[in-house]
Chain A
Amino acid sequence: MKIRFLRVGVASCGIAAGADKVFEKLKEKAGDIPVIGVGCLGHCYAEPVVEAVTDSGESILYRDVKGTDEAVDNILALGENNHFVIPEKRKAHELVKVLALAGKVDPTNMDDYIANGGYEGLKKALSLSPEEVVNQVKISGLRGRGGGGFPTGTKWSFLAAKQAEEKILICNADEGDPGAFMDRSLMESVPHQLLEGMLIAAYAMGATKLFIYCRAEYPMAIKHLKIAIEQIYKAQLNVVNGRKLEIIIKEGAGAFVCGEETALIASLEGKRGTPRFRPPFPTDSGYKGYPTMINNVETFGNVPVILREGGEAFAKVGTENSKGTKLFALAGDLKNPGLVEVPMGTTLNEIVFEIGGADRDSVKAVQTGGPSGGCIPVELFDTPVDYDSLKALGAIMGSGGLIVIGKDRCMVETARYFLDFTHRESCGKCTFCRVGTMRMFETLERIVAGKGKESDLDLLEDLGKKIKAGALCGLGQTAPNPVLATLRYYRNEYIDHVKNNRCTARQCNAFVKLAVDKDKCIKCKMCIRTCPVNAIDENFNIDPAACTRCNSCLDVCPKTPFSGRI
């Protein structure tokens, strides 16, 4: 068997794991075998990943590859070490449509994309009337993947019906949910697919100016998109409706609220990203007063698929009211974090345990929708994941970030973390959001510091409801969700903090003391020497007032004799 070519996953996640070194080393040693840098295969837990494709077309995967001679030689000899077999369970649930080419094509090579069916969707669209394209999207049942879940076809028909000299089309690539990376992966791995989706949309709605608003933290996504845009300009694929369409990338500047449509438009105009009252809706008056459509990256990523296979076929996958597949970014306390694409309606059990490989006994809950969402306890994991079922549980689908929370995590602390995020990200326009989230955050700080009162719980609930009612935009309207959801499902943990003077999960420093287990201790004194604040005396007693809970002593102890958390 001979190797025809090699693929190395060099998206940001791969590079963070050291794939750039592997890539260089392979190029150095592979001789005439082409080494192709590709995007993300989704198996972030196994990165760096290398795929060797043989003469007979067989694909052999390697995981955790190091940039050493030894590791690279092993691959070039198609050796046995570090073989990567994609778990059967994952294969059984996965349905890869939007990400079909991620990790397969070179993101900087348009011909590679075209050779694999790229721009077929655009071709198909151009052979139909614009109305028919909108209609196909309607039939497909596609709903916005940016979090709101509004039917895309319906939204498009609003803008399509407008008569205006300029119509603006914006791709929302702000991906503000801290814990989500679906959009990043799509843009880095198959930038042309996003562009194809946008061009189809521009044709369907008669848009004249295209923007991609991408967060600045994604330099590789921006780089790949820029290259891809140059390529389509050259190939004249951007000529739609007889006009040469310009696609402009604008970098965000680090404000979560700019993911909200009206704030995003303000930011594009160079202003402070403050949401404004709707109506007028962007489709009536958006960027510089022109009718404007905003869609999410993944939404656009679905569009070429719909055109290629037809709206009806697309709608065969999924549940009654949520069609197609969904990308999920899995992270947190599980064995196989990464990106996965599954049909809508796959249950959390399947995603978290069978795909994510989380340990059944150690999972407490999952957080969906990031800081705007809520937690779902493990007891409810047979819930199918779609827009409506998650809403019924007090969580939201959000954009697809799924954070698995283990049993040793404190839910009060988790809620505090999210409020810390939202109160800082509030734009400050609405009093309830600006001051209310601050007060909720302070209350939670008090509780995790062991200074909470029972009445604080009612206070949190009351304030939460009022903020939801009194906020102008989605940020404020959803900010209390993580607190309300944890209060709903884990009230006992709150009670433990405020009444029983303990942290149920033994995480909050204020309730936890470290102590050396003197029976096991071999008196090596490593801990004493390591402690940065000299909290351990020569008799191995730890002064709780001095200890900062940095855990350094636990790290260095050869015997782990710390009885640990009390």
Chain B
Amino acid sequence: MDEQYSFLKQIDPESSNLIKGLQQIQAVEGYVSDDAIRAAAEYFNIPEVEVEGVLSFYAQFKRVKPGKYQICVCDGTACHIKGAPLVHEWLKQELGLDPGETDADGIFSVETVACLGCCSLAPVMSVNGKVYAKLDRKNLKKILKEYAEK
């Protein structure tokens, strides 16, 4: 197996750990590349097509490299009725990105997720896991600016 994926060895190579392995890969690399699929298939002794099948089933897995800052806009029920579509609209205006896209410099990427569990503070989004609540156009701009300057 490729050196790059030697971290998989911390996980028991039992087939039920495949999802865990893929999650580990994504945690390290930000997405699951073709090489990573090959490595996982070899390590867990599962045909590549099956790995690909599992991968494509779960919304969590990404097949393309995301930006440095991953913006996840919640479109759960509470956020939806409190304006999640507007949040996407604002992001489109500020960053020119639709859900699923990454900007040319690889700084920001935008995606939609279902419910972050902070519904009472809707609408919310997270940037690299940090949750921002009660979004409006103004504080969204501020948040983006902070990250852009980092």
List the interface of chain A (C-beta within 8 A of B). Answer: 12-13, 15-17, 44-45, 47, 175-181, 184-185, 216-219, 250-256, 267-274, 288, 329-333, 337-339, 367, 370-371, 401, 403, 405, 409, 414, 417-418, 421, 427, 532, 548, 550-552, 555
Contact = CB atoms under 8 A, between A and B. Distances in A.
A217 B115 contact: yes
Given A179-B76, A332-B77, 9 more contacts: A12-B116, A16-B124, A16-B132, A179-B77, A218-B117, A251-B19, A270-B15, A337-B122, A339-B120
B131 A269 contact: no
Contact of B119 (A47, A331, A552): A331
B113 interface: yes
B63 interface: no
A219 B119 CA distance: 16
Given A181-B117, A337-B120, A550-B93, A270 B16 contact: yes
B81 A409 contact: yes
Nearest to A551: B86
B118 to A, nearest CB: 5
A270 B54 contact: yes
B131 A15 contact: yes
Contacts of A219: 129
B90 A332 contact: no
Contacts of A409: 81
Contacts of A418: 77
A529 to B, nearest CB: 14
A267 B23 CA distance: 13
A466 to B, nearest CB: 25
Given A251-B20, A273-B57, A13 B120 contact: yes
Interface of B: 14-20, 22-23, 44, 53-54, 57-61, 75-78, 80-82, 86, 89-90, 93, 113-122, 124, 129, 131-134, 136-137
A312 B95 CA distance: 59
A250 B60 CA distance: 14
Contact of A253 (B19, B75, B77, B115): B19
A217 B93 CA distance: 27
Contacts of A548: 89
Given A403-B81, A550-B86, A250 B20 contact: yes
Contacts of B118: 12-13, 16, 44, 181
B57 to A, nearest CB: 4
Given A178-B114, A181-B119, A414-B81, A253 B59 contact: yes
Nearest to A183: B117
Nearest to A273: B57
Contacts of B117: 12-13, 175, 181, 184-185, 217-218
A547 B90 CA distance: 14
Contacts of A337: 78, 119-122
B121 A17 contact: yes
A178 B60 contact: no
The 5 closest A-B pairs by CB, nearest first: A178-B76, A179-B77, A44-B120, A337-B120, A253-B58
Given A250-B20, A532-B93, A179 B119 contact: yes
12 contacts: A13-B117, A16-B124, A178-B75, A178-B114, A180-B119, A217-B116, A254-B114, A332-B81, A339-B120, A371-B77, A421-B114, A548-B89
B120 A330 contact: yes
Contacts of A177: 77, 115
B49 to A, nearest CB: 12
Nearest to B23: A251
A276 B19 CA distance: 19
B137 A216 contact: no
B36 to A, nearest CB: 15
Given A270-B17, A332-B78, A409-B81, A17 B58 contact: no
Contacts of A339: 120
Contacts of A267: 19
Contacts of B15: 269-270
Contacts of A216: 23, 60
Contacts of B14: 270
Nearest to B121: A16
A16 B17 CA distance: 32
A217 B119 contact: no
Which of A13, A370, A414 has the most chain B CB atoms closer than 10 A to its own CB?
A: A13
B75 to A, nearest CB: 8
Which of B59, B77, B116 has the most chain A CB atoms closer than 10 A to its own CB?
A: B77
Contacts of B93: 532, 550, 552
B16 A269 contact: yes
A219 B116 CA distance: 10
Which of B80, B118, B122, B131 has the most chain A CB atoms closer than 10 A to its own CB?
A: B118
A180 B90 CA distance: 26
A270 B133 CA distance: 34
A403 B53 CA distance: 35
Contacts of B59: 253-255
B131 A270 contact: no
Nearest to A371: B77
Which of B16, B121, B132 has the most chain A CB atoms closer than 10 A to its own CB?
A: B121
Contacts of A251: 19-20, 23
Given A219-B129, A270-B16, A331 B58 contact: no
Which of B23, B76, B89 has the most chain A CB atoms closer than 10 A to its own CB?
A: B76
Contacts of A45: 120
Given A217-B113, A331-B77, A13 B60 contact: no
Given A270-B17, A370-B77, A254 B122 contact: no
B50 to A, nearest CB: 8
